[in-house]
Amino acid sequence: MTDATEVIRFDCVGDTHEPHIVKCNNCNKEFRAEKMDQHVTCSSCRQKDTLSSKDFEVVGVVRKVKKELTPH
């Protein structure tokens, strides 16, 4: 039996379809963006733009990691 867990990788950017951790350069808050090819809105200050703009910085990628479950 396996179970998926999410981990954040800060040493890579990942694919556009993967969720990312993004930093808003307006208020310095970090938040999760589900896709990189869309407009994102900061959950704190409501700044809205694309991730390719100077307003946001990608700081990590969220990856699913499968782990083996041991029976009890």
Residue 67 has pLDDT above 50, yes or no: yes
Q: Two tokens at 34?
A: 């589900």
Percent of the chain with pLDDT over 70: 86
**pLDDT tens figures, 18-40:** 899 999 999 999 999 887 767 88
How many contiguous H segments (helices) and E segments (strands) does the chain have? 0, 6
Sequence-distant (≥ 6) Cβ neighbours of residue 53 within 8 angstroms: none
**pLDDT grade for 68, boundaries at 50, 70 and 90:** low
d(CA 7, CA 51): 21
